[in-house]
Amino acid sequence: MHANDETHQIIATLIDDIEARRFQRAALGPMVERGRAEPRAILALLEAVLHRLPSGGTHVDILLAFLPEPLWTELVAVAVAIARQSPHNDAAIRVLRQAGLQLPETLHPYLEAIFRIESLAEVELAQAFRGAPLEAVTFLFDPLTEGAERERRRACRALLETRRIEVLTFAEQSSDAFAALLPEVGFEVAQGGFRQLYTPRALHVAFPTAYLDRLAPDVTERSLGISHPTWQPASPDRLRGNRSAAEAPDQGHRVGGAVSARCAICGQRLARLLRLDPVPTAVGVRGLLRLELVACFSCLGWERELLHYRHEDGQAASWLPETRDGRDGREGGALLGAGDHVARGDAPDDGPEMESAGGALEACPVELIDLGPRFAHQDWCTRENLHRVGGHPVWITGPAYPACPGCGVTSMHLAQIDSELLTGEGLAWTWGDGGICYVAWCDRCRVSTVYWQCA
Ligand SMILES: [Zn+2]
Ligand SMILES: [Zn+2]
């Protein structure tokens, strides 16, 4: 089946418009809509872009988000061939980058060719290797030890991305870049091997449509008909079903609002980042039925780079003062339970809903949805939904897993909340300059650590 004549005409017009710089993102809406009934139309448009518009652009990324999985193999073959010939063809590089994020297995037949594409940034190159089988990466063993410095580093980064223990072990013994690069794939060296610092499954925070429509139009691009699949709205029935709507604000998953406990540093009410109620399985939190992730938005990132809170079932989160960074220099695990260091909140978290705290987010019932592996790894600075629980964190300035102040062990990534959500005053909240807020979790101590990064 081939795209029909009408589709060809639309594609030709779109390409002409992009070439003549008359193109507007809204023009992609009808194309995405057409793609639902005629998936090959999107493939045909992308192939035309690859051949005629080497300067690429963000429209390539949008179209790729809507390309059905079975058609990726064809597109990737074209993109690899073009990128080998013309390594600065931005359209082809974008296809390779998005394939590495969404469907890396489509790149695995071409890993040797991809490794030779010098214009691929280290991270773009590496993600093609995610989950690759051992036999597909053995060609990197020579460049890992015998290449020039840049090649050795790229080989190591690519090998780590396989996340295969036998490959990590080999790289540890063979590469001087190993220790610096290991956190990039969310692992640390642990006794007897390696420890993964994130849970594999990513759950996206899904907001009600009425809330999404109040966000700035360029956040979700819903009005243009090109809203990224990760912005799938919450199902009204599910929200009603878990009784988290207005009639039961103290139940269900929820973003924003404030809790009763106060910040031990500045005295303001703590803001809720995210309530997990019930705590989902397989996110690395055991033994708690619900979890209120909170922070003082006034102090976070300003008074303190990291804020730590201790959590117990049915009790308010309590602040833990900053102690030592990392395991080095630790003097036993005496901090937790040392009452004089722990400032208790003055009421349980499930008290009456508070209107606001210092800059708190507007309270909103949400759903957590599993969109599968395709969107479990994402990039920053896209128009995608980066509000997530679990999965590999989307870093802005590089990996940063904090040490738990209770036990000194590295905390696991638990959740991230992006910028641009609404404050209680209806304004767009930003972490620094459009950054992302992260929550790390020590399950042994039940301590959350909150911090943010921005560009
Ligand atoms: Zn504070
Ligand atoms: Zn701990």
List pLDDT tens digits, range 435-455: 999 999 999 999 999 999 999
What is the Cα–Cα distance from 43 to 62, expressed in whole angstroms? Answer: 12
Distance 218 CA to ligand 2 centre (A): 40
What is the Cα–Cα distance from 309 to 291, expressed in whole angstroms? Answer: 11
Pairing of strands 202-206, 193-196: unpaired
| CA 358 vs CA 134, 261, 270: distances in Å | 51, 13, 8
**Confidence band for 320, pLDDT divided at 50, 70 and 90:** confident
Distance 449 CA to ligand 1 centre (A): 14
Is 272 in contact with 421 (CB distance < 8 Å)?
Answer: no
Q: What is the pLDDT of residues 10-31, one digit of tens each?
A: 899 989 988 888 888 888 999 9
Is 197 in contact with 410 (CB distance < 8 Å)?
Answer: yes
DSSP track, 250-273: TSS-EE--EEEEE-TTT-PEEEEE
What is the Cα–Cα distance from 406 to 160, expressed in whole angstroms? Answer: 30
Q: What is the pLDDT of residues 49-59, one digit of tens each?
A: 999 999 888 88
Q: Tell me which of 62-66, 248-252, 402-406, 409-413 is least confident.
A: 248-252
DSSP track, 208-258: -HHHHTTS-HHHH-GGGT---GGGPPPPHHHHHHTT-STT-TTSS-EE--E
Residue 390 pairs in a beta bridge with: 202
Determine the Cα angle at 215 with ends 214 and 221, to 5°: 110
Distance 327 CA to ligand 1 centre (A): 26
| CA 122 vs CA 129, 137, 152, 167, 189: distances in Å | 11, 16, 11, 18, 22
State the average pLDDT over residues 166-170: 96
Distance 309 CA to ligand 1 centre (A): 12
pLDDT of 20 reads 84
Distant-in-sequence, close-in-space partners of 11: CB < 8 Å, separation ≥ 6:
3, 41, 44, 45, 48
pLDDT of 79 reads 97
Q: What is the pLDDT of the chain when averaged over all its residues?
A: 88
Distance 343 CA to ligand 1 centre (A): 12
Distance 307 CA to ligand 1 centre (A): 9
Distance 203 CA to ligand 2 centre (A): 24
pLDDT of 243 reads 54
Distance 432 CA to ligand 1 centre (A): 16
Query: Is the pLDDT assigned to residue 158 strictly greater than 90?
Result: yes
What is the rounded radius of gyration, in angstroms, for the C-alpha atoms of the chain?
Answer: 23
pLDDT of 180 reads 95
Distance 277 CA to ligand 1 centre (A): 25
Asked if residue 249 has a cis previous peptide bond (ω within 30° of 0), the answer is: no
Burial of 251 (0-12, 13-18, 19+ CB in 10 A): middle
Distant-in-sequence, close-in-space partners of 135: CB < 8 Å, separation ≥ 6:
none
pLDDT of 22 reads 82
Q: Is the pTM of this model over 0.85?
A: yes
Is 292 in contact with 317 (CB distance < 8 Å)?
Answer: yes
Q: What is the pLDDT of residues 355-405, one digit of tens each?
A: 445 568 999 999 999 999 999 999 998 899 999 999 999 999 999 999 999
Give me the residue label for tokens 């937790």.
336
The tokens describing 236, both together, are: 């009204």
